Every structure is written in structure tokens, then in C-alpha cells.
Structure 1
């Protein structure tokens, strides 16, 4: 067993300062296992020799073009001593062993020779592809733009690897070898290849956790009610379809099952380990599980990040050790995981009661709340496919589950209870893709405080909660306010088809309830038809007739059945089920005030659980309509083509980057005039000249052309009322305006003269914030003081499609002022949307722009006029979130 010094984090001590520690990464391979990627070091000579000794003759021959039984001391020194600039080597390690190495040697300023070597036992796991991504990133960082590889003609596997890497590749045969040339520039194909590999790897890592063939419970105590024994009993009670091994160092049996003194003492293979020992013993258990070949860990033990800094160090070490040995970790401090598939029947949780089989995948970060959530699902009669409680979310996260569920044939609807977002930009990317296939419904806690629970390996988000909601909407995510709404929406999505539009029919045996339903539809933005009021004594025949007449003109039906005296409920229910089946339109009910999936409204599914076509019921019509409104908005989003950022002809990205380099005189952030940057993206800022006397103001007006405005030059001061004088068409007016403002504002406030933009116009503001977690976010709002005070601002992630820009403009509450309402003339909204698309592209392409404000942007009848633009430019620029080679956070 390794001692404590063996578990220290992989931080380098006593090495040259140029060692690129930021190249280190934990990565997931195509089979779901993990390895650690890092630059090679001189002290790796021993593991390099061991690695080489395990290679086959063929692997050595393909690498060195001839036999080489062993490496000489000189070769070992050469391979392990690199300068990390012209000679770079990255290795993949599993535990303490090297399993692969990739290197480049610079040939000239922009070209380098590349070579790979992967241990035979680990070939086919995707090690080479992930090392290629990391080596490419390192090469680009060092100015390398092209890789050259000489490959033997018989090495078809390596030639196929280079050809399928996604980069522009060329090959030619000379001197008995195939010389392959790879252009390392990012292409759409290379990006798609990387994302596809990431998806397969992360999905497979979750599949390994949820479909184990065997489970060990470490810490299964003798006392009933203990955490370990509870998990063990739940595994046995669910009739897990495989062996279950309790581990206890002192007893021979737990809950009637033979116990083992250690994981290593177990006779057979073990796929999944549930760890329920005290926190200070968990690391030893992880080491033991790694040596046994366990593929995944569920750590239900507490005492980690949630306890403070010391626990956080223990938590980080847990993840480091697990990943170094190829394991993913659920938890710690979690409820566990479950899979209701009859071929698995896994209940590795602390919840004794699981819902039945269903089509809903459920992820919860909260362990304590997870039990209550599962109970709510079961109480409603809903089923689930799989369940994961991530606890402190130290490793496995909601992003991993999205990768798995998007293609899981057993899952149709995805529910997420989130307390934090570890990689928000990646979440937005994955959610947008997933939502095109399956609905994603989210409850995000901390909406008011934006707080993150203690122990979560996630930052506090810098954006307001309204921005988070807007970004969810852009990704097609259904965000609901509370847990009741989460399940209200889920039961509709899980059992009924999506509505084609917002037109809603209401049929009811209560006039009052019908009126409530119609009012709720209007309030939720739906289009209700006049309700069919059947009267208190309405029976199945009355519902049949009303539903038949209503079907042809609605997209969804809300049926209300609340008889004042007992009636033939079963017959009415059968009529509702028949109608839903025949019409193929969503039908939801308020059936006797019941909640969930009443037996009378069910269509039998797998194992007697509700199947497709079952009708969900809600205690009140307003709750049914609220759920329907969420689903209608999602259906309309899903029916809109995804689009792509439009092609813009007059954009000079290279010129913009040159402007940035010139503006960055040091590593300090600096605020600059953004006129030059915007010009590179086809956006003109109206010229403005600072002035310090009435005579200078008159001269500036002559140069710019009258009419002009005289205004406060300071952006903050200019937002105050009375700081601008408009429509000055003669020298006398300019002098008087200057004197008036100078007296009003004082000598410390600078003034400027600017040519007056066309009037009438609506004043707006366009901003960019490069959020540390989300990346570039574009916001839009009106510039009037009232709109600013109310925070009437909308947000979208950059880059933006034309539809994104249109939605952004229409999302603010004051948007009607742009479309000819309330006495305002209609303005050139198309020109405004074009400006927003261009700003979004600038934001996406220039990570050096930390903040950009276009204020004001006047939108007139014939176009837009940008009157002011300032940018905060970063002195040092790191990689954008969710960019670069694959890596685990």
C-alpha cells in the first residue's frame, strides 16, 4: 500500500521553471476509463524503460523502423530531457505506469516532426487521439502550425489515425515511407471529431457506472441502519442482477451475505465499488479498488469538501487518485446511483424505495434531497430509467450524464436538479445538442443568491440569474421554478406527445374551473379556444362529443373532471385515454383533483408501470396549464432549425487581432476606445472630438458637419439627465451649449462634440462580458433611464445566429418600442440584429476583449448609429471555457 507521500498532488517541485504545468490533464478514453496526461520529465527514465519493456516487437518496429530490443542510456536521456519549446513530449500514465508517449521535434519555425507510441495493451482505447489533441494544443502554443509524420506503408492503423484526426492531411510516398503532413489549424471537421470523441468517451464512462456486472460495498457494517448496510440491503432488495460483495474486516457475513476482509480478497471481478467508510479511510479503499481493477466508485461517505478546507484537500486527493488509476467517481457525500433496467436492477443508493421502470433519467446534486425527490416520483406513479446523485460533484457531473442520456434508448426525458454548474459553457453546448433530441428540464437552486453549496467543485457564477435563464432558453432547456413544477412538466413530457402549437382546448364539467384554465392559458402566453362547459352531471358521452368537436382546431387539450357527486369516473377516464390515442395530441387532465398518473388514466407499460399515452393529472387546472406552457415553448424551440452564425463578408479578424496586440502594451488590463476594433467587424462609430473651450467646440462642429451635439464625454456622467445638448446647427448655439454644460457639470467633467445622428431613434445599449465560466456573453437593453433602473436586459452566448439576435432583441420587456408601439415609429430592427451578430462574432473571436460596451446605439427608421464604444482589453488571455483539448475539470 502506498504511503502518504505517494498521494501528494501531482505538483512539480524542484524542476525547471519552464515546465508547462498547465499542460497536465485528466482525460477520459473511449472505453470510459481515465488516464493522466502530462509533459515528460527527466525523472521519468525508470517508467520509460518499464514502458518500453512491455511493447511488442511490432510496435517497436513501427515506431523505429527496425528492431530495437532495448533503449540505451543515451536514448533514455534524450527522450526524457526536453526543453518544452522545440522538443516536447507528453505521456499518458495509469497509476504509476506510463502507457503512451507522443512527441514533436521542431524542424523549422512553424513545422515539427511528430511520433506516437502506445503500449499494446492500451491500443484501441483512444489514447493516441487524446494525446494528439493535447500535443496539437502545445504545438500551437509554441508557434507550430504543421506536423510531419513518417509512417511505414504497412502501418495502416497509424495512417488511418492521422487521416481521421479531423485536420487537413496530405501524404506522399518517398524513400520507402509514407510522409504525412497535418495542418494543425482548427477546422469544422476537427472540432466535430473532437466533440464526437469526447461524447463517446464520457457516455461510456457513465455507462460503466450504471451497468455493472458486480458490486462491492466497502464499509457494510453489522448494525442495521448504518450507511454501508443500508446500501447493501437496497442492492439485495432490488434483486441486483449480479454478485454483491460486502467488505468488512472483522465479520464473516453481513445481512446474510458472505463478507470479505478486503476488496483484494474477493474471488471474482468487481465493476463498481460503493464506499461507505469514514472519510479518513476512503483513500486507502480507492487504492485497493484500483489494484483490484474496479471500474467506478460511488462514495457515499461524507467528511469531504462540505466540511471545509481540510475536507476539500481530501476530496481533491480522492479524485486525483481515482482518475490516475482509470476510475470515475460519483460523489462524495452522495445518495448513490440506480438503474431500473430489468437486465441490471441496480439500487446502489440509500433510498429503500425506488420508482418503477420509466423513461425519465434523473440527476440530483443533493444527496439529502435525493431521497425526497425519488419519493415524489414514486408517489406520482412515474417511473425512471436511471438515477444519479452526485453529492459534492467532485468528478461525475450533469454534463457527463447529458452525454450518456442523449443516446440512451431507455431515456426519453432528462431531469436535472442543479446546485452548481462546474463548466457552464460546456453545459450550454451539450444541453443545446441534447434538447434537439430529448427535453431537458432543470431546477437550479441559488437563483436569488447565486450561491454554491460548500464542498462543490464549482465557482460562483458572475452573471445574474436572469442571464442564466436566458442562456438556458437559448439552449432549449426547460427551466422551472421549483420541484413541483419539475415533476409536473416531466410527467407530461414522459407520457404525452409534444404539442404542435399554442392553441389549447379546455373541456370541463365546472364553469369556474374552465374559466381558471382559460385565464391561466392567457397568462402563460397560450391561445385558448372558448371552453366546452359540459355541466356538473356530464358523463363519458358528453366528453366524447366535446372532445371530437374540439380535436380538429387545437394543438393540446386540458380536460377537467371534478364531479360534485360520485360519477362514472372510470368511463370518463377511458374516453380521455381513447381520445388521446386517436388524436395523437397531448391531453392532460385535472382528474378528481388527483396528482400524478392515476390508474384509470394509464396505458399499461413495461412491468405494469405507466406507458406512452398515459394521461397525467394535476390537482388544479392552473398547474396543468403551467406545465403545458413550458412544453409548448420547448416544442416551438425544437421545431425551429438550429441555424448557424451567418457569414459576414466585411470582417477582418486578423486586423482586429493586430489592433489588440498594439493596444496591449503590458500585461495589465486597459480600457480603450473600441472604434478600431469595431471597424474590423464592419461597424462604424460616429466620430467624436473632445473639446476644452467654446472655440474648440465650434471648430470641431465645422470639421464634423452640423447639426452636432455637445455632451459629457465621460460615459458614466453621460447617463445623467441634462448632460447633452442636441440639434446645434450654428456656431452661437454650440458656444452656448458648451458654456451651459461646463457651468452645470464643472471643469472636472470633459465635454465632446459629435455629429448628430438621424432622428427620431430609440436609444439602446449592446454589451459584451467575457465571463470566466460562460465565456463571451452578449447583452441587449434599451438605453432609457427607466429601462436601466429596471434591469431590462437580455442575454445570449456568443457567437449568435440570426435567430439568436432576433430573440435577444425581442426578449426585453421594452421591445415594443422598437416595433412602432406606444407612439414610437417602427425602426430598423434588422440593422440592429445585424449589429448584434457582428458584436457576437467579435466577442467569440477575440478572447482578449474582457468587456465591450456600445452605448448609446441609436436605432432609427433607416439604420443604426453607434455613438460611443469602449472596451476593456485583457493583458493576459487564457483559454476559453470548453475550448482546447479534452480534459476533466
Structure 2
């Protein structure tokens, strides 16, 4: 039976009209009992069939020996049998015409060895039967839509209905997330535990959820991506309409190991995820707390138009703390218009602070809070507000919550609430929940969330991907260079060859010439004009600091370059001397005479090829500073021109490029073009493993740039 289109059949998993729980059990504390009990007790609107060859009935429902014995059609099979029997059960499901399957059973790929073979058999059985498969080794699936009300999982609770969907690669993290959401009064529309992702993965559910009318915000817990390119395409299309917030666990530097280039060393195992998420609009968070703090606001509040925040509080100290947090999380404190200040003065006591943060004083009533919030939200210079209240003897938190809810509903600006009371706030939380206002225990949490909303809103303005293809490149010339490198058994490209490659792809390359004698060097220098640099070209010297001894030799040559303006003298002292060759202990093939670059800003451009993401591009502050400051930005190729500019602007060193303290701005257009050309080069030639251009000398605006030094590694 051919494999059916998975996305069109996910409806069988989320909204089946009938469910067979294969492995349902009456045994207390068994997974089979937990799953079957959940389907029953949370008022599933369809028909459920327990399947267990050793039982006549389970929890009062007639049981069947096999799924084939069920007389009626079955849409979904939830399988909880020993791992050795799962493939056979899936074959029977295929014979029954079942449209989807969830394998909760563990004991597959996660164990390695024989478990990998078992999982392959299960996947083969599902595909032969044309059944989309969730799992194995998963928690299950939940749909809170009242028209379905399906809890096909062994979670101990059913989330409240909401407009947030959660997809988790970890069942244990999923359980913790469900508990946290329930405690924080955050409702969910869907929950999916993808488990081992033998068949269906996060991309399939992302495609489904972006069209799901019950879902407005998508949350992801990821340990890896099954197909990063497809994820990019789906997320880029979805994120402008539905925010996607993701935790990607496993931030580590272990993946950077012994890289050959600066780019490879700086990339690490996590840079690709950061780059991919940023490019496709996914907002990355660091913890479950952040995930649900942000989700509660994204699901209920409009996005801010900017990052100007107003704070209304009855506690001056907390207002100061919130102001400090605003700076930390990328917000600016809004400056109120004169009209706003006048209205605040009319509605607040003389002792109140009218400036931002607005202090309505400790005895503030709900009327005072309402007046202050109304005035600041009406100010055109305010993009969002945070309301803080502490419990005083004269403070009615529930009344304040009602007033804030009423005022906030009349404005299209996000309003977040922090009521710092630990006891007897049930009524307050209910009011805020019904009014769709997110509540936070501490001011910093609310400020951090508003900052996240502002950053996300800014990212919505990111340019769509229209990648330029340069027609002025010479692919044949580059192919010829790589063929020569391969024939010589090298894993790297000599620097003159690297300059050939970059020149063929339209990079601004300094005038240069290969020479084999002092006379040739002198002639080349005369033709290109002084000052020039002379570089040793040898297969034994790839990176100037690859070994300490070679580093010393390179440094010696480097000092000579700086001191001499006539290449004849340099050749006579450093190249013609057999003693100098002995010092370098290198096989001198040729020398490279290169025109010295004019002074400019030193940048680094690089690429490392990630096994899953493909070419990972890098830009940063160059020269010897790159590994000290590590001021770099990464992106996954291909990139567009606007995104290239975004990479440049996000560097901490960007002020140095844009004109700092009277210095002329650098040629940003040329830097962006070099990034785009590097993207095309990396995609056109998959044999490039890593490369650095360090430095790319950037000249003042309109004067271009120049590739000075370059390294390319192949393999």
C-alpha cells in the first residue's frame, strides 16, 4: 500500500471519530490503563475500543482480542504493547484501514543496538500500511477542542482549552510543561509528544498547527531538527501569522572541537540553531518558565509597535527595579507627552510621581490605577505598559485587576500585570485570566516578557527571502582549481588559489602575482606599485599559527613585510636565503606578491559546513581580534541582501562601521555583497568544508573592500 500524504491525514491523530487503544489494561498504574482511562474520563466525543487478548472488558467497556475483531471503522490506533510486537500490530492496523497510529511503547532507537533495528521494522510496517506514525517512545497526543476532547496520553491531567499548542520532543519535558501550564492558568489547544520521530516529526505538526484555527501560538521543545531546511520553509511562512517560541536544549561548545579555521572554531554546535531560528522568525527561549511567560502574553496581547514601555506602580522601589530590567531587556522608558503629564497631574495626588515609572502611591485605589493607566496608554509615545501592585491594607487587588482589565481592553497596546501577593489572590487571577491579561509574580518577569514581544515584533519586519544569484561568476575556473587541489591530495587551498577562487566569484581581490624568483618578484612589484607584501606559499604552511615553530617563522616574515618597501630587499633577505628556508622547514613552492591594502576596518567573513544545516556563514570583527572578542554573527545560506545587512547591523562593532566619532562610515554595501557572494560560492561548491577571509579590509563608504588573507579547506 503506498504511503499516503502525512499532513492531510494528521486529522486522524487530532480529531479521530474512533480510537482503538491496543494494549489497554485494567492493571493499576500500567501505561495501558492510564491511556485508556484518559480517553474515557475526559469526555472524548468519539468511540473508544480497548484491545487486549486477555480481557473481556476494561473499565466497563467491551474489549477485543485484536483490532481486526472490531466491527466498526477505526480512525486512530494508540499502541501500548511490548516493542517486539509493535510491527505486527501495525500490519493489522493496515489491514483494518486505520488512518493514524501513536506508538507509546518505548524500547527502540533510544536504546541503540537491536532497538534501532526494531524501530526500522516498525517504520517499514507503518509505511507499507500507509499509516502516519507518531512515536515510538512518546507520551501521546491531546486535543482540548470541546468538539473532540481527546487525551490519548498518559499525562495525569487534561489542559484547559486555550489557543497555544505545544510540541515536545521529550515526554518528560512535556509532562512538566503541562503541569506548569495548568498551574499558571495557561490553556492549550493541542499537545504532541513526538518521541523518537521515526515517521512524523516536528515539521509535520508545525505544518498542521499553522493552519489550525484553534491555535494562535506554537511552542516547541526540541533536541534536534529532523529536516532543518523544511523547518525553515514552514516556520518562515508561519511565524508572521502565529508566533513560534522554541526551546532548543543542548547548548554546548563541544561541537566546535578542533576546527581548522576561525569560523569553525567560533561556530560551535549551537550557532546553526540560533542562526536558523533568527532567519525564519522563530523566537528562541532558554527555559520552560520563559516559554510560558512569553506564551501567555503572545496568546492574549497585541504586539507592541516599538520598545517604549510605561510602568504604573504603587511601589517606588519596584518601579526602579522594573526600570533597570527594562534597560537590561532592550526596552526604553517612554517619555510622556506634555498633555499626558497634565492629565496625570489632574488625576493623581500631589505626592505621586508623574514621570515614568508612574508612582500612584501605596494607598492607590482602583480608580487611581485606572486613571493612570488610561493616560499612559493613550500617549502616542507608549508602546506597552506594565502595571505593578503590592498588597497594602487599603489595597483591593481584585478591584485593581478589574479596573486594569477594563482600561486595557480599550487600547491596542500590550498590558502586563504584576501583583506581588502570594496569598488569597485567586479572585484576582481569575479576573485577569477572564480579561486575557497575563500575570507575573515579579516585575522582572513582566519586563522581560514585554521586551521579548518588542524583539519579536521587530523581527516581523525582517525581509522576506529573495536571494540574488550573481551572473558574473566563473564556476569553471573554480572547478579547475578544486580539481588541481584534489589531484595533489591536499585538503586545503593555497592562498594564491584562494584568491583565484574569490576573484572568479566577483570578490574585490587585491592585485597579486605568483613568483618563483627575486627578479619575478621585483617585476611584479614594479607593475602593481609599492608598497607590496610578499607571502610564502607552501603546502607545509596553511595557517600562520598552525604550529608554534611556524608561527614564529611567519611572525619574522611579517615584521620584514612591515619594515621593507622594496620587494627586492625582502626577497634577497627572506626568500633567496637557504638559511631562511631551513628556518621555516617548509617546501617553498612559490611566493605571492600582493599589493598592500590601504588602511581600513578589518572584518572577517567565513563559512563552515554543518552536516545538518549546510553552509553556515559568519561575519565579525576581523584580524587578530576575532577570537578575543568573538563579536560574530552567523546565518544559514542562502541569504538575501537585506539579511546580509541585518547581520552587519547586529554586530556589537557596527558603530565602528557606521561612522564613529567623526570617522567615515565603511562601505556597508560592499560587505553585504561579499556575504551574498560567499553564500552563493558555498552553495555552488559543497566540497568547501571551511573558509576564512581574514581580514576583509573595508574602506570608507563608496570605496569598496579588499580580500587580504584567505584560507579554504576542502573535503
Q: Mark yes or no: TM-score above 0.5.
A: yes
Name 1:747's counterpart in structure 2: 584
**Contact kept? 1:463, 1:771, Cα under 8 Å:** no
Distance in 1 between residues matched to 2:272 and 2:508, nearest whole Å: 28
The 5 Å alignment of 1:308-387 reads 308-387=112-191
- 2:646 matched to 1:807? yes
Distance 1:603 1:511, change over 3 A: closer
Distance in 2 between residues matched to 1:737 and 1:533, nearest whole Å: 76
Q: Which runs of 5 or more structure 1 residues have no equivalent in the other structure?
A: 1-34, 36-92, 95-124, 126-200, 452-460, 605-609, 875-889
Secondary structure class of the residue paired with 2:543: helix
Q: Which runs of 5 or more structure 2 residues have no equivalent in the other structure?
A: 256-265, 335-355
**Contact kept? 1:767, 1:852, Cα under 8 Å:** yes
- Find 1:726's aligned residue among 553, 562, 566: 562
Aligned length: 662
- Find 1:512's aligned residue among 285, 310, 317: 317
The 5 Å alignment of 1:28-107 reads 93=2
Name 1:620's counterpart in structure 2: 442
- Find 1:540's aligned residue among 347, 351, 366: 366
- Find 2:284's aligned residue among 455, 479, 499: 479
- Find 2:389's aligned residue among 545, 557, 561: 561
**Contact kept? 1:593, 1:618, Cα under 8 Å:** no
Name 2:104's counterpart in structure 1: 300
Q: CA deviation at 1:203?
A: 2.9
Name 2:259's counterpart in structure 1: none
**Contact kept? 2:35, 2:152, Cα under 8 Å:** yes
Cα-to-partner distance string for 1:646-688 (whole Å, 9 max, x where unaligned):
4645345576567666766599966462334333432242244
- Find 2:456's aligned residue among 624, 630, 634: 634
Name 1:607's counterpart in structure 2: none
- Find 2:238's aligned residue among 425, 431, 434: 434
* Structure 2 length-normalised TM: 0.86
Distance in 1 between residues matched to 2:271 and 2:223, nearest whole Å: 16
- Find 1:241's aligned residue among 45, 53, 70: 45
Distance 1:858 1:219, change over 3 A: same
- 2:304 matched to 1:499? yes
**Contact kept? 1:853, 1:869, Cα under 8 Å:** yes
Secondary structure class of the residue paired with 1:495: coil
Secondary structure class of the residue paired with 1:674: helix
Distance in 1 between residues matched to 2:581 and 2:318, nearest whole Å: 61
- 2:611 matched to 1:760? no
Distance in 1 between residues matched to 2:326 and 2:639, nearest whole Å: 31
Name 1:855's counterpart in structure 2: 694
Q: CA deviation at 1:252?
A: 0.7
Q: CA deviation at 1:344?
A: 0.8
Name 1:159's counterpart in structure 2: none
Secondary structure class of the residue paired with 1:391: coil
- 2:619 matched to 1:783? no
The 5 Å alignment of 1:116-515 reads 201-448=5-252, 463-515=268-320
Cα-to-partner distance string for 1:466-512 (whole Å, 9 max, x where unaligned):
33212211111110111110111100101111111111111111111
Distance 1:234 1:622, change over 3 A: same
Name 2:262's counterpart in structure 1: none
Q: CA deviation at 1:588?
A: 0.6
Q: CA deviation at 1:717?
A: 0.8
Name 1:121's counterpart in structure 2: none
Distance in 2 between residues matched to 1:426 and 1:463, nearest whole Å: 22
**Contact kept? 1:795, 1:808, Cα under 8 Å:** yes
**Contact kept? 2:518, 2:576, Cα under 8 Å:** no
Q: CA deviation at 1:282?
A: 1.4
Distance in 2 between residues matched to 1:872 and 1:410, nearest whole Å: 50
Distance in 1 between residues matched to 2:459 and 2:648, nearest whole Å: 17
- Find 1:679's aligned residue among 481, 491, 503: 503
**Contact kept? 1:761, 1:858, Cα under 8 Å:** yes
Distance 1:379 1:208, change over 3 A: same
Distance in 1 between residues matched to 2:204 and 2:683, nearest whole Å: 25
Distance in 2 between residues matched to 1:854 and 1:224, nearest whole Å: 65
Name 1:866's counterpart in structure 2: 707
* Structure 1 length-normalised TM: 0.70
Distance 1:806 1:800, change over 3 A: same
Q: CA deviation at 1:786?
A: 3.0
